[in-house]
Amino acid sequence: MATERISLRRLSLLTIFVLVLGLVCASHGMAAEQAVASSAASFPDLYEASIAELQEGLEKGHFTSVDLVKAYFARIEEVNLQGPTLRAVLETNPSALKQAAELDLERRLIGPRGPLHGIPILLKDNIATLHSEGMNTTAGSFALLGSVVPRDAHVAAKLRAAGAILLGKANLSEWAHFRGNVPSGFSGRGGQATSAYVPLGDPSGSSSGSGIGTSIGLTAAALGTETDGSIISPSNMNNLVGIKPTVGLTSRAGVIPISAHQDTVGPMARSVADAAVVLSIIAGRDPRDNFTLAQPPIVPDYTKALKADGLKGVRLGVPRKFFTRTNANIVAAFNASLDTIRNLGATIVDPADFPDFAELEASRNETIVTQTDFKVGINQYIAELLSVPTGVKTLADLIAFNTAHADEELVQPFWTDQSEFISSENTSVNQAFFDAVAADKDLGATRGIDGTLKAFKLDALLLPSAVAPGPAAIAGYPIITVPLGFLPPNTTLAPAQPTRSSGPNQPFGLAFMGTAFSEFDLISFAFAYEQATHTRLKQLAFSEAIPKTQLADVAGK
């Protein structure tokens, strides 16, 4: 056995030596070839570049992943804390360029691992990444600055294994908008994020930075999280495709929690195809999140759902009673979209209202569930950290920390509230909590989404994205949103308090909602609509918010 170990050790050393020699030679050859390829290449515009386009350029040697990271870093630098100061990104990954170089060499020697090989992805700052890599995981709060996580979040690990580059951490509504009544997009660490479509506009949240950053090409795509609206709403307001997966399709392990019953992680992207690629990578079972054990045993390849005829023969229902508080321009655009969808072969049942709509609207069970879940979940998350320099250990400590550091966290005049924290601290896991969990499932799923689908023999529900999140949140069911339109250019610019609630050219989306684990079908429906309309580029961000740096500025240099 000892002789075998010595032989294996020698073989390993020899293998490493040959590999290192190969890498050195390959890197010289690749640099020369890339310089030639770059000089003759036409580069995709990073404002809109798809993952497939980026992958094609990488494969052809027109540019490298190092070039991509440099270009995205430069674009972030232009608009994040300078110019329009969008405050979309909390921090960039100091290891990203090193990782990109390693992935470039791996591509050269072995080939790509898959569609995300060498592709930079931005992560919301409640998704843990290895502390040794150089990034924090804080939910935007100074209370967790410098804390050491035990490992990557499961979704981050899956991205990393697929060859993605973790580009940085996106700003967010602090604590995923669960601290209190605070404007969307504000965090103590990141300040107030704003839209790239309306100057000082509300970016929505809580995945605000993921939405802003993806909307103007500061990243190829991003991950967000949703408890109730936090992927769908910022995707809606930032002209993006967003997928809020079924609770249990993507692991929440290593994600700073709000509610075990409602939290989910999903992609935010500029196209349905890109969102499908990312979801295919991050979905799957994880022993650290028992909700994932309820999903089907095989994760679909969601890119196979990308069918231009995906709406042919489909029955979609319109739950009109949810529209009562919706902007008239949005309702008009939604109504016009129904003709497009019919022309693509779908049958529209309108109205197809929830049988339990009145009960659903009156219910306050979600508040009981999320506030109780948060106290349990956040205390557990902090307890599993390897180090917390601020010394906080519990939700009560977080409340005290904010009070003691009010100049950083409870900032006058708009960001002073932590009432959600205080209400959550006053909860306990009791019979009222268990009753609320059961009631939510009954109202949202059994008699809500599933009841409506069954009553009208529907494949999915169709509604403006602005009103879509609620029932799916308490049911734990999936939604996909795609760009639908923009408020008219003559829309009154709302006052900045501190952000503007609306303004000219503000985007809005169209949502497809379904039963548990119906993502494949929803992606198919959304893709067919997207390909027939191509709405996203009908309105660009305001000019100052569009970064100028392109791949041509960095490739081969």
Cite the active site residues. 124, 206, 230
Q: Are 515 and 450 in contact (CB under 8 A)?
A: yes
Quickly tell me which residue has 């490298």 as its tokens.
Answer: 64
282 near 159, Cβ under 8 Å? yes
Q: Which of 246, 308, 243, 275 is nearest to 518 (CA)?
A: 246
Q: Which residue, among 496, 492, 518, 520, has the nearest Cα to 505 in the 3D structure?
A: 492
DSSP bridge partners of 165 = 120
The 3-state DSSP class for residue 148 equals strand
Task: Tell me if 161 sits within 8 A of 206, measured CB to CB.
Answer: no
Q: Which tokens hold the place of 114?
A: 């898959």
In one-letter notation, the amino acid at residue 528 is A
Find the Cα–Cα–Cα–Cα dihedral 201, 206, 207, 213, rounded to 10°. Answer: 20
Residue 399 Cα distances to 171, 180, 247, angstroms: 21, 11, 28
> Packing angle between helix 65-79 and helix 51-60, nearest 10 degrees?
130
Q: Which residues pair with 461 in a beta bridge?
A: 317, 513
Q: What is the helix (H) or strand (E) element at residue 511, kind and residue range?
A: strand 507-513
**Chain centroid to CA 224:** 2
The full 3-state SS of 460-478, as one line of letters, equals EEEEEHHHCHHHHHHHCCC
Residue type, 290: N
Q: Which of 418, 431, 419, 448 is nearest to 368 (CA)?
A: 431
In 3-state terms, what secondary structure has residue 168? strand
Contact between 197 and 86 (Cβ < 8 Å): no
Q: Is 198 helix (H, G, I), strand (E, B) or coil?
A: coil
Nearest partner of 460 among 376, 404, 516, judged by Cα: 516
**Structure letter (DSSP) for residue 126:** T
d(CA 348, CA 331): 16
Q: Are 121 and 220 in contact (CB under 8 A)?
A: yes
Among candidates 276, 195, 158, which has minimal Cα distance to 526? 276
**Secondary structure string (H, E, C) spanning 328-378:** HHHHHHHHHHHHHHHHCCCEEECCCCCCCHHHHHHCCHHHHHHHHHHHHHH
Cα 168 to Cα 273: distance, rounded to the nearest angstrom? 22
Label residues 472-499 b or e (16+ Cβ within 10 Å = b): bbbbbbbbbbbbbbbbeeebeebebebb
